[in-house]
A and B are shown apart, each in its own frame.
Chain A
Amino acid sequence: MRKVIMGNHALSYGAMLSRVQVIAAYPITPQTQVVELLSEMCADKVLDAQFIKVESEHSAMAACLGASLAGARTFTATSAQGLALMHELLHWASGGRLPVVLGNINRAMAPGWSIWSDQNDSLSQRDTGWVQFYCGSNQEVLDSVIQAFKVAEKLHIPAMIILDAFSLSHTYEVVEVPEQEKVDEYLPPFQPKFRLTPDDPHAFGGLTSPDHYLELRYKLQKDMEKAPALIEETGQEFQELFGRKLGLVDPYQCDDAEIILVTSGTAGYTACVAVDHFRQQGLKVGNLRIRTFRPFPFEIVRDILSQAKKVAVVDRNISYGHHGIFYQEIKSALYGHSPVPVFGYITGLGGRDITLDTFRQIIEETQKNDAPSERISWIGVKK
């Protein structure tokens, strides 16, 4: 069924179709509609789930972990400060091998208070052991929730669906809402490899000596390394059933491109418009939208970017004292594999619009210089 829905409701429908069993959430702008709709679905029994209306995001994640350990399919959603408050328990989820799925609406961190989009909230959680999907459309948001459960539950690793504040969360788009039966076919009920039950009592997460800890983390990384292939495989399966592709990355006009933009989120679609615009003027530009940030899709990123003459990474985030975070990741992926020069641009922090003009400046600067400067190139800063 086709519906015109906002990005936040795409998360709710994704959770509903995935037949989540326990939801625990706390309100934060711009996430609220996700849980408003889910609480209605639970109240109306459209969705057979328990909704725990907790008193903080920290408790939201704690409740999800308890429910997940019991073997229930579990979902929550948050944003910015809320995600930061969950930080301790994000580690708990991956360390405890609990496949919770979380929707995060990218919102800039305070102070000053901002409700608008940038990626520093979710990228600050880069090293917590979660799979991270950055979405570019409401359709992709809905589809990603379903795929995320499949990937997370197979690997016993939690997954985060990430979307831009307002330019996706509150923007209405046409979305194909798949039929429940087909989703059930794609995503069977959660069958955990272990769960807490008095029928087979175990202690989970107890004191772990140096004799064991290293091996537990080794196994987590080994399973994380299986994720890229699994995301491709489940994305393929998704395409066969629903006709839409869900890959690690989303390349656009990259095959013959001299300059390839690297983008994520909704900026990834604005970039495609910029690509068309410059191609009409005879400049061969392409765009590589990174959908899966963790695990980082090294191979495919290398394959695509090494064909280009120049790479321009657009970051709506910053690691203070270093550079844009995608920029660092792309450079590290290419190091020792390709000599292609990588230009890094920071723009759009705190919800400043990333427009066609932003990309025009980025492309022109990349075209003009032979090698990237040591310093960060900021786009749109009022000086």
Chain B
Amino acid sequence: MKADKEIKKKRMRLSLPPEEYMHSGHLACQGCGATLAMRYALKALGPRTALSIPACCWSVIDGPFPYSSLSIPIFHCAFETAAVSAAGLKAGLEMVGDKETTVVAWAGDGGTFDIGIQALSGVAERNDNIIYVCYDNEAYMNTGIQRSSATPYGAWTTTTPVKHYKNRPKKDIDAIMAAHRIPYLATANISYPEDLYRKVRKAKDIKGTRFIHIYTPCPTGWKTRPEDTIKLGKLAVQTCIFPLYEVEDGSTWKINIKPRDKKPVKDYLRLQGRFRHLNEEAISFIQEEVDKKWARLLKYEEVSPL
């Protein structure tokens, strides 16, 4: 008896539930952030969940017909329809007597920031009862690394070659979604799984349109080492390039992590082949822009609720 107690004491406490709804055999690249995002999110969502997945890496990662690496149902829908396909699915399930299932649209940045923004805006304005997750790897990775409006300033992609790297900032999708005054919005990051889990779990219990924007590194498209995926996620938060925060009802901002010593963006950029061409001047410009955006975010929190 005494020995048992000692063993219990020494056992590490799990910070996430051990249940898995994503399984081996999927088709992701090594070091893929999008796979971690799904694995953690499903731990929070549980088995009574249904997904709509538009064209994106995940429409391939899950596996070809007749296979699936997830143990929850998936509606593979058209590229621009993730949000409204989920809303239709939710309405249909309710009308056949299933009021319990959480319906989640699971889309990449192209399907969210670009081609899917109309349907997403429609769903958010109506406050349709779904969770929308955007896993953001900052370009059209599934088609071979073309720029999207989520691609950050300065990045190389196959359609923004080094000589003409992307010269416009990343679209602020979170501000757009907050402006819809949806009940809940959060940014999350695969390098902070407990924070990600907590946010998805919280979203699950809220009614209406909930939006979760997950930062997911892509070694293939970013020209990074697969083993640096977690490190990049940490750096994205420590440099304030991708801050972690929540917005409730489009009026109350709450920043979850405020780095004590903000790291320079250079630390983040230098690990990635897609930024390798940037000179000092370009890097200082990026630093200034990140600083401005961070200062603005702090102000939003300060004056909350708006």
Contact = CB atoms under 8 A, between A and B. Distances in A.
Interface of A: 21-22, 24, 49-50, 52-56, 58-59, 62-72, 74, 88-89, 92, 195-198, 200-209, 212
Interface in B56-79: 59-60, 62-68, 70-78
A71 B96 contact: yes
Contact of B78 (A50, A71, A89): A89
A66 B74 contact: no
A342 B295 CA distance: 76
Interface stretch (B118-126, B157-165, B209-217, B250-258): B118-126
Contacts of A62: 77-78, 81, 84-85, 88, 119
Contact of B94 (A50, A65, A68, A74): A50
Nearest to B21: A201
Contacts of A69: 75, 89, 92
A21 B50 CA distance: 20
B305 to A, nearest CB: 28
A362 B47 CA distance: 65
Contacts of B92: 21-22, 66-72, 74
B81 A206 contact: no
Contact of A66 (B52, B62, B68): B52
A28 to B, nearest CB: 16
Contacts of B78: 62, 88-89, 92
A85 to B, nearest CB: 11
A195 B62 CA distance: 19
Nearest to B72: A201
B95 interface: yes
B68 A205 contact: no
B74 A206 contact: yes
Interface in B256-300: none
Contacts of B231: none
B207 interface: no
Contact of B47 (A88, A195, A198): A198
B86 A66 contact: yes
B73 A89 contact: no
Q: Which of A22, A71, A196 has the most CB of B within 10 A?
A: A196
B65 A207 contact: yes
B87 interface: yes
A206 B62 contact: yes
A50 to B, nearest CB: 4
B224 interface: no
B49 interface: yes
Contacts of A206: 59, 62-65, 68, 74, 76
Nearest to A88: B78
A203 B61 CA distance: 12
A59 B74 contact: no
A70 B93 contact: yes
Contacts of B168: none
B235 to A, nearest CB: 33
A66 B51 CA distance: 11
A203 B96 contact: no
Contacts of A207: 59-60, 63-65
B95 A72 contact: yes
Interface string B111-142: 00000001101100110100000000000000
B48 A198 contact: yes
A204 B96 contact: no
Nearest to A68: B92
Contacts of A198: 47-50, 72-73, 101
A375 B165 CA distance: 55
Interface string B181-203: 00000000000000000000000
Contacts of A205: 75-77
Q: Which of A56, A200, A205, A209 has the most CB of B within 10 A?
A: A205
A55 B98 contact: no
B174 interface: no
B109 interface: no
Q: Which 10 A-B pairs have the closest CB atoms?
A: A66-B88, A70-B92, A67-B92, A63-B88, A55-B122, A66-B89, A62-B81, A205-B76, A72-B92, A21-B95
